Chains A and B, each alone.
Chain A
Amino acid sequence: MDKMTQNPTLTAKDFSSDQDVRWCPGCGDYSILKQMQATLAEVGVSREDTVFVSGIGCSSRFPYYMDTYGMHSIHGRATAIASGLKGARPDLSVWVITGDGDSMSIGGNHLIHLLRRNIDVNVLLFNNEIYGLTKGQYSPTSPEGQVTKSSPMGSLDHPFNPVALALGANATFVARSMDRDPKHMREILKIANDHVGTSLVEVYQNCNVFNDGAFGAFTDKATKADTVLMLEEGQPLIFGAEKDKGIRLNGSKAEVVSLNDVSAEDLWIHDSRDLIKATILSRMFENPLGDDALPRPFGVFYQEDRFRYEEAMQAQLDLAVEKKGEGDLDALIRGSHTWMVE
């Protein structure tokens, strides 16, 4: 980010391209686009140093709507393309826009390898638990038993848990947000942008045409206070309409306690640098409306500082020059053994 020029004059509108946005009316993608444009203006990146790379799917139209550099590529491969782009051009700010089908299914391999390499790109995973562009088949994040066009008797696939998957792949930054909470999303996008290394942000995004209300439990007024657990760095894990419930660690198990019985100091204090705790948080993944269910965490699960692939790659090049000197083409072509023919 150091090469990024501060440009305080840009507004969210300056990041909007001249293309008409063509998502279905009411799609959660609109909100994410708006928050992204606002966040970029706020953090002050320059348009010319920013590249959005996407794969295939509804969300992958995103780059067309950003007045930056961008590539709408092929299904599942945005992460691989971004790896090469950032490898060749570490000075750029690179964002990958992907969906649950694009990144968890056809592009699953590239995603996990990007995460372990820790190339400094930001991955925005629009999770709507459905294939929208192909008109409504179950996706790798759809819950078991989901009835869709391709699963009339219910899906047999056990769903991926993207946050847990990312942690398993040794991601250095993992967060979750949702389309219906613009303020939280901007906050998370900002932290993700600041993270040096790959950041994975899962966004719960409502597909109002093929999977409306998939995340209703976390967005409906009636339930969200009890199902949403907002993670705040250094703060106890507290939730509930009356802020009267908390999460306490009992051994390696998270349990819900009442603040009437337990004081806030004895609750789980969120520490996004603790991998074990992040792993436990990531597994708070059951149906939030079930009996005794744990709430679903949102916010930054985990972050760590680890060397970046593209930085280490450049360092090897620099070291090679230091040791052997700048490469000379004639010496290269000549090699080590030659002979003269008279």
Chain B
Amino acid sequence: MTNVIEKKKDVIILFAGDSGDGMQLTGGLFTNTTAHYGNDISTFPDFPAEIRAPQGTVAGVSGFKLHFASIDIFTPGDEVDVLVAMNAAALKANLGQLKTGGTIIANTAGFDKKNLRLAKYTDAESPLLDKSLDQYRVIEVDISKMTKEALVDSGLGTKEVDRCKNMFVLGFLYWMYNRKLANTEQFIKDKFGKKPEIRDANLKVLKAGYYFGDTNETFTSRYEVESASLEAGEYRSIMGNQATALGVIVAAKKAGLDLFYGSYPITPASDILHELARHKNYGVKTFQAEDEIAAVCAAIGASYGGALGVTASSGPGIALKGEAIGLAIMLEIPLLVINVQRGGPSTGLPTKTEQSDLMQAIYGRNGEAPMVVMAPRSPSDCFETIIEAARISVEHMVPVMYLSDGFIANGSEPWKFPKAADIENIVPRMADAERDLDEGKYYPYRRNEALVRSWAIPGQAGLEHRVGGLEKDFESGDVSYDPANHERMVKVRQAKVDKISESIAPLGLEQGESTGKLLVLGWGSTYGASRTAVRELIAEGYSVSQAHLRHINPFPANLQDVLSGFDQILVPEINNGQLIEILKAKFDGRFEGLHKIKGMPFTSKEIKTHIADILSNNG
């Protein structure tokens, strides 16, 4: 048998099966192995809203998309090269994503009458038998049976045996993409160290899958995706929620503050709570509150007490927190509000991604309640962005809304992580009895030139003071109903937020010239798809550039200057057009929106095609 090894620049694999089939784990393990090999990687899980939706149905299909490459990549990719379908429903749910000529690895045991009926194939007709898959390369393997046979002497029960079948798939793919088993073997040994029979079974099936590829003559194609030319250094794989959690821990330490995290479980933000709860030896206090309102209020109480108060949720929970966020704006104390956005309105699409809470972040409170709003662009960027959010919140005594989303939160990528010592300290403006007492009285709302008040923490004699949600006098900080004073205070709270633009980095161009026909201006998780699209278009000779916003309120001070360099500005968003409305209201330019509201991120192709259309139509 001779195996032809074909070189590829990048490959996208979609692992799909029942939510109980272990596809997330399988994808994660392949990711680790191939990351160690040196590929650039981007992943995105796609799971059902129910934990265990009915087995065998399309609603119960759980997917894990993995893009790995020998080149720089920025998204989990568009069309899939290889679709692993553990059953008929997995094929039905994902076939649309497979590129023509792509490979299907089908577990034939998952295509029996029962599975076909559950997947609602007409007359329980198997797609493996009719001609409907002719445009693809189909590899049929009875994975269930092969697994059973490999474990015939294991002494394990049927259920335990069946649970090993994802390892067969993994072993087979390792063969197909010429990867070593060592990394996964180590994982299995660590994970099942206390259950030797389970450990051995998984190891055996993993190898069985690999050898199946090696010895079965029908499979003659193997692929090689060489390591990418990533910047030299030490890397790890990171998911967005994880990076956010690590970032808040680092930020609190860098500010010399205790971290207090108040949160109520909600998809897709809960993983931040899980991650933080694991790091108690860093002094992290996590408080699982009775509801969203209590979660933010507890964080506000902690901030008042001198901690870094942080809360997180998704859209519906942020709506509930609105009044309390307004209080924090009125109190002028640090508070980080993390919104891992999902499809809305109402309960919407809890496990799907969307960028539809931007207006809520900027305007969603009663009264004139300006709020700093920032957004990370990728899983690893969460780390840096949340630290900057904390820096602004603490140093400027303002609550900050941080807009992640389900795509970033659950996606992963390699991260050349920084050294803790290289991250700048955060310096709170603590009240000081010597500096701040005026004839023995402390004035909590006296401000410095950046309009920032001082932070007096309980426990300090002489600085006793009262704060609250009622309007206060500009000078004394006492409750005031004076009309002129209210106007002055509204203006000063706004000016304080506006002034933050003076301390943030100016907006730079990611790619392209500073003048041209079209600028792609995005925010948050659209970064990767825009990046890929614009890179390809520039290579094809189009006059197109890319800029990407981390700061949405306030905007970078030079935003108008950047916009003015272009005939048109395309604003792609996973919503019905929110940033574009704000841009149109505040800036001059010819703006055009590109909206996708399907609970899924943009593919780079969608953005690329749209730009090419605009540019060719406008000459």
Contacts and interface: CB of A to CB of B under 8 A. Distances in A.
A68 interface: yes
Given A71-B468, A339-B234, A341-B230, A85 B305 contact: yes
Interface stretch (B293-301, B511-519, B536-544): B293-301
Nearest to A67: B464
Contact of A91 (B285, B300, B459): B459
Given A80-B289, A92-B458, A69 B465 contact: yes
A23 B451 CA distance: 34
A46 B234 CA distance: 52
Contacts of B250: 329, 332-333
A85 B302 contact: yes
Interface string A302-342: 00000000000100110111011111011011110111111
Nearest to B249: A332
Given A81-B301, A317-B283, A333-B420, A109 B291 contact: yes
B294 A109 contact: yes
Contacts of B282: 327, 329, 332
Interface in A37-92: 46-51, 53, 56, 63-64, 66-74, 77, 80-89, 91-92
B234 A84 contact: no
Interface residues of B, number: 72
A113 interface: yes
A88 B258 contact: yes
A100 B458 CA distance: 28
A323 to B, nearest CB: 7
Contacts, number: 206
Contacts of B1: none
Contacts of A332: 246, 249-250, 279, 282
A329 B327 contact: no
A72 B467 contact: yes
Contacts of B285: 87-88, 313, 317
Given A47-B464, A327-B283, A81 B290 contact: no
B464 A77 contact: no
A329 B464 contact: no
B180 interface: no
B15 interface: no
B417 to A, nearest CB: 5
Contacts of A53: 301
Interface in B200-259: 227, 230-238, 246, 249-250, 253, 258
A110 interface: yes
The 8 closest A-B pairs by CB, nearest first: A84-B298, A72-B468, A84-B301, A327-B282, A85-B301, A80-B297, A329-B420, A320-B280
Interface in B380-426: 383, 416-421
Given A71-B331, A87-B298, A109-B291, 15 more contacts: A48-B459, A56-B469, A70-B467, A77-B294, A80-B297, A85-B304, A88-B307, A317-B285, A321-B280, A329-B420, A332-B282, A333-B383, A334-B234, A334-B417, A341-B38
Contacts of A323: 281
